[in-house]
C-alpha cells in the first residue's frame, strides 16, 4: 500500500509533464517559419511603409511594430484568438462563426482580408493532410487563419495565454523577416528589435486578455493606408 501510494502521484506528475511538453512542441510547430502555409509571402502593409519612407531604419521599424502590436494585434487578432479557443472548448459553433466573421469584417483592405483567408485555407489543407480537421459543423466553411490557429492550438492542448504569445511571436518574426529582405537591415539589428519587443509581446497579451467585446477593433489608419497603397505599388516583393 505504501509503495503504491508513493508511486501513483509520481506517475500522474510525469503524465502531466509529458502533456505539457507535447503542447509546447505543438505550439513550436504551429508558429514555425517552416510551417507550409506561405506566411512569408505577406508583409501586412510593411512593404508600402518602406516605399513611402515611413519606415526606413531600425528605430522607425521599432516604432511601426510597437504601434501595430499595441493598436492592432492586442485589440484584434489576439483577443479573438482567445475567444475562439474558449468557443471551441465549449463546442459553441455559433460563437466560432461570429468571431470568424467579425475578424473578416475588421480587415480594412482587400489584401489584409485575402491574407487571413488564404493563410486559413493553406492551414486547413495542411490539417487535412495530417488528419487533424474538425467535423464540418465546428468551423465555418471558409474559416480564416486565426480560427484555424485556435482550432489547432486547442487540439494540441495549448493554453490560451501561450497560444497568444506564440501567435504574436510568429507575427514578429515574419515582420522582421520582411524587413531583412526589403530594408538594409541586418540580422543583428533584427535581434536587437526582438530584445526590445519581447516584453511588449507579454504586455500585448495581457491587454488582449483584459479587453471586453466592446473594446475590440484595430486602431491602425496608417497601416490601412499603407495596405491600400500596396495594391497599386509598382514594384513589390510581397502580396500585401
**What is the structure's pLDDT at 7?**
46
Would you state the cell numbers that stand for residue 25, as one nine-digit string? 512542441
- Which residue ranges make up each domain of the chain? 2-230
In the CATH scheme, what is the homologous superfamily, with its name and number, of domain 2-230? Urease accessory protein UreF (1.10.4190.10)
How far is Cα of residue 110 from the mean position of the Cα atoms in its chain?
19
Confidence of residue 15 (pLDDT cuts 50, 70, 90): low
C-alpha–C-alpha distance, residues 72 and 69, integer Å: 5
Mind listing the pLDDT tens digit for each residue in 153-195?
Answer: 999 999 999 999 999 999 999 999 999 998 888 899 999 999 9
- Sequence-separated (6 or more) residues with CB below 8 Å from residue 93: 87, 137, 138, 139
pLDDT per residue as tens digits for the range 88-140: 999 999 999 999 999 999 999 998 999 899 999 999 999 999 998 888 888 89
Q: Residue 236: CA atoms inside 13 Å, Cβ hemisphere, count?
A: 20
**pLDDT band (50, 70, 90) for residue 8:** low
Higher per-residue pLDDT: 60 or 236: 60
Can you give the pLDDT at residue 137?
86
What burial letters (b/e) apply to 99-115, b meaning 16+ CB within 10 Å? Answer: bbeebbebbbbebbbeb
Cell of 13: 506528475
Spatial separation of the C-alpha atoms in residues 215 and 225, rounded to whole Å: 22
- Tell which wins on pLDDT, 18 or 39: 39
Q: For the ranges 31-40, 77-86, 95-104, 168-177, which has the lowest average pLDDT?
A: 31-40
Predicted confidence (pLDDT) at residue 22 exceeds the cutoff of 50: yes
pLDDT value for 18 = 64
**pLDDT at site 63:** 96
pLDDT > 90: percent of the chain? 62
Amino acid at each position: 500500500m505504501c509503495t503504491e501510494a508513493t508511486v501513483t502521484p509520481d506517475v500522474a506528475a510525469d503524465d502531466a509533464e509529458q502533456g505539457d511538453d507535447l503542447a509546447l512542441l505543438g505550439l513550436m510547430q504551429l508558429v514555425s517559419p517552416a510551417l507550409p502555409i506561405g506566411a512569408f509571402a505577406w508583409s501586412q502593409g510593411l512593404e508600402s511603409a518602406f516605399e513611402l519612407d515611413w519606415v526606413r531604419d531600425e528605430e522607425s521599424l521599432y516604432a511601426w511594430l510597437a504601434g501595430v502590436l499595441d493598436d492592432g494585434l492586442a485589440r484584434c487578432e489576439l483577443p479573438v484568438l482567445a475567444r475562439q479557443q474558449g468557443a471551441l472548448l465549449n463546442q459553441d459553433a455559433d460563437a466560432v462563426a461570429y468571431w470568424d466573421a467579425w475578424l473578416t469584417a475588421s480587415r480594412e483592405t482587400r489584401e489584409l482580408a485575402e491574407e487571413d483567408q488564404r493563410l486559413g485555407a493553406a492551414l486547413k489543407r495542411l490539417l487535412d493532410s495530417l488528419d487533424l480537421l474538425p467535423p464540418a459543423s465546428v468551423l465555418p466553411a471558409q474559416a480564416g487563419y486565426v480560427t484555424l490557429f485556435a482550432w489547432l492550438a486547442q487540439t494540441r492542448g495549448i493554453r490560451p495565454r501561450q497560444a497568444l504569445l506564440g501567435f504574436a511571436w510568429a507575427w514578429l518574426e515574419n515582420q522582421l523577416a520582411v524587413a531583412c529582405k526589403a530594408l538594409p537591415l541586418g540580422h543583428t539589428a533584427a535581434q536587437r528589435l526582438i530584445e526590445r519587443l519581447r516584453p511588449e509581446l507579454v504586455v500585448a497579451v495581457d491587454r488582449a486578455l483584459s479587453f471586453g467585446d466592446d473594446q475590440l477593433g484595430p486602431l491602425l489608419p496608417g497601416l490601412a493606408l499603407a495596405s491600400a497603397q500596396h495594391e497599386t505599388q509598382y514594384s513589390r516583393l510581397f502580396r500585401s
